[in-house]
Amino acid sequence: MSISFKDIRKAAKKSKEIAGSSKSESEEKKEIPALVLNPRPDFGQNLDYFKLKIDTGTVHYIPEYLTEDEEKLLLEHIYSQPVERWSFLKYASRRLQKWGGTVMAEGLQDPEPLPGFLQPIAERLENDGVLSFCPNHVLLNEYPPNIGIMPHEDGPLYTPQVAILSIRSYIILNF
């Protein structure tokens, strides 16, 4: 089964209609448990094990960085966000959520703290030595089947380090 952008827009419209219905707030919003990450081995000591041999710089591939249960809970949090939190990319047939602010050429605009469901992941990335800092910005991209993005370079605000976490599917990256 494939999902088209048209289907996503219909679902978003339906979400808005439901949100405007007469249900009480407690009926509308199901309480989702907090995302608590289980301790992991110290990747900072063993990060070289995950290093890929490519000529474009240092790239690490860490399979199953989140457990299956952690992924499921993260997805519950992502999909429980109000439809207004999603940006629909009309010509790309996909949608995304921006957290922490908006990246502009001038820097991070309208900064905000990461939500509780993303902060533990940001902290783990730093604590495990995957990143040398705790991330303050997250883009959650949702790609329907057979939809990807064209080759591109991210701006200087995304350097020198980024982390890509793929859940629910594998990804192919060309450098």
> Mind listing the pLDDT tens digit for each residue in 17-65?
444 443 444 445 678 888 888 766 656 567 888 888 887 778 888 888 8
**Residue linked to tokens 């939809």:** 147
Q: How far apart are CA 134 and CA 119, in angstroms?
A: 9
Predicted confidence (pLDDT) at residue 4 exceeds the cutoff of 60: no
Determine the pLDDT at residue 45: 62
**Residue linked to tokens 């207004």:** 84
Q: Which residues contact 125 (CB under 8 A, 6 or more apart)?
A: 131, 134, 135, 163
Query: Which range (2-16, 64-78, 139-153) has the least confidence?
Result: 2-16
Q: Which of 32, 38, 59 lies closest to 124 in space, CA to CA?
A: 38
DSSP output for 119-143: HHHHHHHHHTTSSSS----EEEEE-
What predicted TM-score, i.e. pTM, was given to this entire model? 0.76
CA dihedral 43, 113, 32, 14 (to 10 degrees): -120
Query: Which range (42-46, 93-97, 160-164) has the least confidence?
Result: 42-46
pLDDT band at 100 (very low <50, low <70, confident <90, very high): very high
**Residue linked to tokens 């509780």:** 116
